[in-house]
Homo-oligomer: A and B are copies of this chain.
């Protein structure tokens, strides 16, 4: 049941060209850099990737691009959960066929107040239609955005029915009690926290690590925390990781994450977002960069 992923994964930001098409050269270069910097894996098409702003064809084509760029596909966990069953099946199949180590599955998120039974049938259909023993599903629990979540009862039922396919989840619900509950019910389940603030709590309760926006610009430090958690360095690292995260508080997550990465790479092109998102304006960007610079002076090199 334990999935193939552990550690610190980045929901990779998606660079856009001036015409708002995906800038594939910058995209593959960024993926490579993130792995070099210490990401144990990457999540293309996560919330921070503006996944919902990418068309199905674009996602299929990006998976192809990543394969052709000889990315280590087993370390990829693309988000493949869309609203419509046929679209989800198609993207999930493509991910498995390209050798992705797992997929991150959002529930269908337009209709709210979905019964567990309906969500169970949907997920069962996805697994059976993909029909591939290589499929590793991580359930994506993010009710504050999706408006629909995976209840612990439903997670247990899915794991009982499909123990080889349902191997973990990402908890972006904001309350680590959810992860703890799931880990108590299903020991060894691959539970990632969506917020590195809860990484120590996650590991303490047998979790697998973190998939967090911040990994796009602070993975070295997050990785050190993951590797040395519980050692004498652990507490200091946790403090530093949380300080970096807090720096982005009050900024919209995706534009701020892009601005932080753009600063690291000295590449303003990375700041571009697709509407309906808006980039940070100049004043806000300066404010963010200043805060990150101050923190860098305090902490060494965040």
Contacts and interface: CB of A to CB of B under 8 A. Distances in A.
Number of copies: 2
Interface stretch (A93-101, A117-125, A233-241): A117-125
B122 A55 contact: no
Contacts of A56: 55-56, 84, 87
B83 A118 contact: no
A32 interface: no
A276 interface: yes
A145 B111 contact: yes
A110 B140 CA distance: 14
Given A85-B20, A147-B147, A111 B276 contact: yes
Contacts of A117: 278
A86 interface: yes
B276 A108 contact: yes
Contacts of A53: 83-85, 108
A276 B121 contact: yes
A275 interface: yes
A277 interface: yes
A84 B54 contact: yes
A107 interface: yes
A162 interface: no
Contacts of A122: 275-276
A249 to B, nearest CB: 15
A70 interface: no
Nearest to A253: B111
B85 A275 contact: yes
29 contacts: A47-B111, A52-B108, A52-B110, A52-B111, A53-B83, A53-B84, A53-B85, A53-B108, A54-B84, A55-B85, A55-B87, A55-B90, A56-B56, A58-B84, A58-B86, A85-B275, A107-B276, A109-B109, A111-B145, A111-B277, A112-B145, A118-B275, A119-B275, A121-B276, A121-B278, A122-B275, A122-B276, A125-B275, A147-B147
Interface of A: 20, 47, 51-58, 83-87, 90, 107-112, 114-115, 117-119, 121-122, 125, 145-147, 274-278
